[in-house]
A = this chain, B = another copy of it.
Amino acid sequence: MKQKPILPVLRELAKAYQAFESYSAMHVRTMELTPPQFDIIATLGNTSGMPLKELGEKSLITKGTLTGIVDRLTIKKLVRRVSSPIDGRSQIVQLTKKGEALFARIFPAHLAHIEEAFVELSAEDLSNMQKALSQLREVFTKAHLQNKASI
Contact = CB atoms under 8 A, between A and B. Distances in A.
B19 A130 contact: no
A129 interface: yes
Nearest to A115: B6
Most buried by B among A116, A120, A126: A126
A14 B3 CA distance: 28
Interface string A1-32: 00111111110111111111011001000000
Contacts of A126: 4-6, 9
Say whether chain A's binding surface is mostly helix, strand, loop, or mixed. helix
Interface of A: 3-10, 12-20, 22-23, 26, 60, 111, 114-118, 120-121, 123, 125-130, 132-137, 139-144, 147
Contact of A13 (B20, B127, B128): B20
A115 B116 CA distance: 35
B23 A143 contact: yes
A3 B127 CA distance: 12
A117 B138 CA distance: 9
Q: Which 8 A-B pairs have the closest CB atoms?
A: A117-B143, A12-B133, A19-B140, A17-B17, A16-B137, A132-B132, A129-B132, A16-B136
B10 A13 contact: no
Given A10-B20, A22-B144, A139 B121 contact: yes
B130 A133 contact: no
